[in-house]
Amino acid sequence: MAGFALDTASLVGNTPLVRLKGPSEATGCDILAKCEFMNPGGSIKDRAAKYIIEDAEARGTLRPGGTIVEGTAGNTGIGLALIGNAKGYRTIIVIPETQSQEKKDTLRALGAELVEVPPTAYSNPAHYVHTSRRIAEETPNALWSNQFDNVANRMAHIQGTAPEIWAQTGGRIHGFTCAAGTGGTIAGVGMGLKERDADVTIALTDPHGAALFNYYAKGELTAEGSSVAEGIGQSRITANLEGAPIDTQFRISDEQGLRQAFALLKDEGLCVGLSSGINVAGAMALAEQLGPGKTIVTILCDSGMRYLSTLFNPEWLGAKGFAAPEWLKY
């Protein structure tokens, strides 16, 4: 095999797995994190973007010179725009206007056409997902990538992320946990790991304001509270979540997630976003449940550099009622 990647799409995946010192020492487990912020577009969603595009090409629903349309919290759009550029497709991205400025600026810089919409409930036809579907229907030679209900998304994790984790741990893994946006990661990694060892515990880590914790705990799609985390927090069972092998679930607050995100940066030199901090807090909860000596894997979904104006800005933190860490009080 040649010593170089053939194209941008083949740079996606094969991310390193890193042991988190603080969380491992605190729990007596090995807490390992998959560095998804190291993908070419800077997030886990590059994997779904690549699979969705390649699946559509294989089915003939995306043809040369075509347009990819998606509703996204930002990261999927960044992956679609990069891989789309590399393959000669135009991208139209519909995004809730509340997403971080960095993500919106990045999408524009990559050449995506950005449509900003006000945040609304999923039941509202103006919701960003429905808006993206309508734009795709009205655009000639366009693919609606439909990351929530297109199972090519979770296939990226069944065929990519899960076997990578299995190989990197040498099959010594007792638990896996992460939060859900589309649910592609938790469902796909869960399915891929259970295929190899049915005893691996798959735990959903849910932010406040999402309905999945109550769904898996007691069969009710209901939510309490709210979260400022971008990219996670689901209120319905998407096609990607159908059949997800969830054994247990945790609910993690923004304060807990921020504490972990700040500790990862200050103590381990890992600069990641809030969904990653929430995942690490969930991994520590799973370690407590399984007991010491276990190996637990979670996901570092995207880079904290994507949130300099929010999570790493003392004024923003203060306005949202969160305490800024000492070293951030510049």
Q: Where does this chain bind ligand PMP (CB under 6 A)?
A: 43-45, 73, 75, 179-185, 230-232, 273, 275, 301-302
- Cα–Cα distance measured from residue 304 to residue 66, given in angstroms and rounded to the nearest whole number: 32
Of 45, 103, 104, 294, which residue is the catalytic one?
45
* Min dist. Cβ of residue 153 to ligand PMP (A): 7
CA 63, chain centre distance (Å): 27
* Min dist. Cβ of residue 108 to ligand PMP (A): 18
* Min dist. Cβ of residue 96 to ligand PMP (A): 12
Nearer to ligand PMP, 74 or 175 (CB): 74
Closest CA to 279 of 217, 230, 206: 206
Nearer to ligand PMP, 27 or 75 (CB): 75
Closest CA to 179 of 8, 299, 268, 289: 299
End-to-end CA distance of the chain, in Å? 50
**Single-letter amino acid, residue 216:** Y
Q: How many residues appear in the chain? A: 330
Q: What angle do CA 107, 113, 119 make, to 5 degrees?
A: 75
* Min dist. Cβ of residue 329 to ligand PMP (A): 25
Whether 320 is a known active-site residue: answer no
* Min dist. Cβ of residue 91 to ligand PMP (A): 16
Nearer to ligand PMP, 9 or 232 (CB): 232
Q: What angle do CA 119, 146, 138 make, to 5 degrees?
A: 85
Nearer to ligand PMP, 67 or 153 (CB): 153
Nearer to ligand PMP, 86 or 129 (CB): 129
Tokens read off for 6: 């053939």
The single residue listed with the structure tokens 């689901």 is 234
H or E element: which one contains 49? helix 45-59
CB 183, CB 234: distance < 8 Å: yes
Active site residues: 45
